Structure 1
Amino acid sequence: MNMEEMNADTVIGFLNYLENNRKNKCRTVNHRLAAIKAFMEYVSYESPEYLEIVRKVKWIPFRNVEKKDVCYLTREEMDSLLDACETATPQGRRDYLMLLLLYNSGMRVSEMISIKGKDALITGNGLCHLRIMGKGRKERTVPLWLTTTKCLVGYMHENGIQRDDYLLSGRNVEHLTRSGVRYRIDSIVKRVSTHCQSLQNKSVSPHVFRHSTAMSLLQSGIDISTIAIWLGHESIETTHKYMVADIKLKENALKKLHEPESSHANQRYHATDDILQFLNSL
């Protein structure tokens, strides 16, 4: 295909094919269109004789994507999931630690399965700071609750995890996979849903725990800039460089965040549109 053929009509036809024939969702179609527009930006510099084609393609509008409410777990739902972990078995103890880490740290599942023994940094007061390698090889550190620290240290001791060993191992694999994490979460949610009706209408993916962490921090009065640092999110432009490295800032935030298994009733929280947009971007 030459540039004359890659005009607006051709691109529109391709997008319609993705939506109608391939049954791609609007979000996927928009990703393809964004890639085409990025290529056209390159063409405009390298081959300015095609500027008219570029202009028309870049004017093609993106599909309207239906905005969904942010799915997150309440404190009671989180407690129910933890209670459902069969901690009498090695797999159950791994599940319990996995859920605690996801909720405590708010890290992505890809970040969690990459954690190694050397990333658990025990402090002088007996607590643990977890080193996380995020997107773009950008490192951050988050403090852990005492509950999570004890569970983590006990798990590492039980399984003889050394510095270069992956923290969460899978069956016959070096470390737990993304699909393995999803399978274990689905299994736990399925058991809990029989007596926790609110979970029956929720699709609880590993990423939902990240949203749950953010919502719990918001409900505890933590500002969005601090939450962005906590989660390794860069879209909040007001974040200052010195705040990123300040573990004390994160420890103070942790003190305001209720640990799971709390008997306190969860107060209903109403997030603003700006906060919902931020959560959807996580």
Structure 2
Amino acid sequence: MKNSDFQGLLQNFFLERLINQQKVSYYTIQSYKDTFRIFLKYMNDEHGVSAYTITMEAINADTVVEFLNYLESHRKNKCKTVNNRLAAIKSFMEYISYEAPEYLSIVRRVKAIPFRNVEKKEISYLTKEEIDALLNTCKSSTPDGRRDYLMILLLYNSGMRVSEMISMQRKDVIIPSNGSCHLRIMGKGRKERTIPLWQTTTKYLIQYMNEHEIHNNDYLLSGRNVEHLTRSGVRYRIACIAKEASCKCPSLEYKSVTPHVFRHSTAMSLLQSGVDISTIAIWLGHESIETTHKYMIADMKLKENALKKLHEPEPRYLNSRYNAANDILQFLKSL
């Protein structure tokens, strides 16, 4: 493999590795594409190395670290975004490790670059009263209002990601003879899962599909001048609904109501209803149960806060309580 073959390696990484072998989603392709587009522009602007002349030797650990710092300082990217860019580069390096093993020394050093520590915020979710306030704000007298109502119902009932919802078609709605409805969802890594719907959601969904004559390959949620709603379109509509609903439900004013908040709300609702964490992980399409564990932690904090509001009994202490010697206390203090 020659140094000038970087361009060929990168093309094969996208065409062979990501698209043909891993069959990653459209959104993953776009994210990885943006990473290398920004990286190549950075190499040209900061190091004077064009995309046509760049070699594998130029993509070393020092350069990658400088690129990550550039993202943070110049592009003002947050740690989560920087980590996503690094993950894309590491994935490319993993491909290089067996496709061009002569670059293993470069690969090892790049893959050893640590991810940024991301501040873990408390999980934000909506209560049933807040969900009801959002639904009641949707204007059932207009087509857009009825679409918004269905959008919120689907997000809360299924807990699916916004990208999964906007790509859903009529053929993904399964209605058996007994009338119970299921959604077939294609998640991350092209992992398919099936989610049951409440009777109220089922009834509204069927009515909506009949009203709009939605057929097999039609998208459930149409947009203006586009085949289906976009992610930005969903965010905009939810922001508008939340702003209006906050007038009657003040607690919404202090929450960031995004499409992903409904996913958290579904998980917390299932957990508080007694559904086990393994089922919730399957419901949400989590690859690892560790991802779902954060909801258990959030629920425990709620219980601890409730406990603090209870009146504690006066403590009783035994007179024979053990007292540590001063020297051991000093020792522990010095640690």
Q: TM-score range by the shorter chain?
A: 0.7 to 0.9
Task: Tell me the SS of whatever aligns to 1:82.
Answer: helix
What does residue 111 of structure 1 align with?
164
Tell me the alpha carbon deviations over residues 230-250 of structure 1, each in whole angstroms, 9 at most, x when there is no partner: 12222139xxxxxxxxxxxxx
Larger Rg: 2
Quick check: 1:143 aligned with 2:168?
no
- 2:155 and 2:236 mapped to 1: Cα distance? 15
% identity of equivalent residues: 73
168, 174, 182: which one pairs with 1:129?
Answer: 182
1:115 maps to a residue whose letter is: M
What does residue 197 of structure 1 align with?
250
Structure 1 residues 122, 41: CA separation in 2 closer, same or farther (over 3 Å shift)?
closer
Task: Tell me the SS of whatever aligns to 1:123.
Answer: coil
Q: TM-score, normalised by structure 2?
A: 0.65
CA contact (8 A) 2:123 2:298 kept: no
2:267 maps to a residue whose letter is: A
Residue pairs, 1:84-233, within 5 angstroms = 84-233=137-286
Structure 1 residues 171, 55: CA separation in 2 closer, same or farther (over 3 Å shift)?
closer
- 1:133 and 1:45 mapped to 2: Cα distance? 30
Segment of structure 1 superposing worse, 196-205 or 142-151: 196-205
50, 54, 74: which one pairs with 1:21?
Answer: 74
What does residue 135 of structure 2 align with?
82
Deviation of 1:28 (Å): 1.8
Residue pairs, 1:263-282, within 5 angstroms = 271-272=296-297
Structure 2: gaps (5+ residues): 1-53, 302-335
Structure 1 residues 15, 275: CA separation in 2 closer, same or farther (over 3 Å shift)?
farther
Structure 1 residues 75, 46: CA separation in 2 closer, same or farther (over 3 Å shift)?
same
Structure 1 residues 62, 116: CA separation in 2 closer, same or farther (over 3 Å shift)?
closer
Task: Tell me the SS of whatever aligns to 1:229.
Answer: helix
- 1:50 and 1:159 mapped to 2: Cα distance? 56
- 1:116 and 1:4 mapped to 2: Cα distance? 46
What does residue 242 of structure 1 align with?
none
Deviation of 1:114 (Å): 2.1
Q: Which has the higher contact order (CA 8 A, sep 6+)?
A: 1
Deviation of 1:83 (Å): 0.9
Deviation of 1:54 (Å): 4.5
Deviation of 1:8 (Å): 3.5
Deviation of 1:65 (Å): 1.0
Deviation of 1:126 (Å): 2.5
Structure 1 residues 80, 30: CA separation in 2 closer, same or farther (over 3 Å shift)?
same
- 1:169 and 1:48 mapped to 2: Cα distance? 48
Deviation of 1:162 (Å): 2.2
Quick check: 1:72 aligned with 2:125?
yes
79, 89, 97: which one pairs with 1:36?
Answer: 89
Structure 1 residues 19, 169: CA separation in 2 closer, same or farther (over 3 Å shift)?
same
1:120 maps to a residue whose letter is: V
Count of residue correspondences: 244
Tell me the alpha carbon deviations over residues 161-215 of structure 1, each in whole angstroms, 9 at most, x when there is no partner: 2223222212232222222212211110110122322212222111111111111
Q: TM-score, normalised by structure 1?
A: 0.76
Tell me the alpha carbon deviations over residues 238-280 of structure 1, each in whole angstroms, 9 at most, x when there is no partner: xxxxxxxxxxxxxxxxxxxxxxxxxxxxxxxx8327999xxxx
- 1:176 and 1:48 mapped to 2: Cα distance? 44
Task: Tell me the SS of whatever aligns to 2:296.
Answer: coil
CA contact (8 A) 2:61 2:109 kept: yes
- 2:222 and 2:91 mapped to 1: Cα distance? 40
Structure 1 residues 96, 53: CA separation in 2 closer, same or farther (over 3 Å shift)?
closer
Structure 1 residues 275, 214: CA separation in 2 closer, same or farther (over 3 Å shift)?
farther
2:163 maps to a residue whose letter is: S
Structure with higher helix content: 2
Structure 1 residues 3, 195: CA separation in 2 closer, same or farther (over 3 Å shift)?
same
What does residue 323 of structure 2 align with?
none
2:89 maps to a residue whose letter is: I
Structure 1 residues 5, 275: CA separation in 2 closer, same or farther (over 3 Å shift)?
farther
Task: Tell me the SS of whatever aligns to 2:194.
Answer: strand
Structure 1 residues 12, 128: CA separation in 2 closer, same or farther (over 3 Å shift)?
closer
Deviation of 1:49 (Å): 6.1
- 2:72 and 2:250 mapped to 1: Cα distance? 35
1:178 maps to a residue whose letter is: R
Structure 1 residues 55, 96: CA separation in 2 closer, same or farther (over 3 Å shift)?
closer
Deviation of 1:44 (Å): 5.1
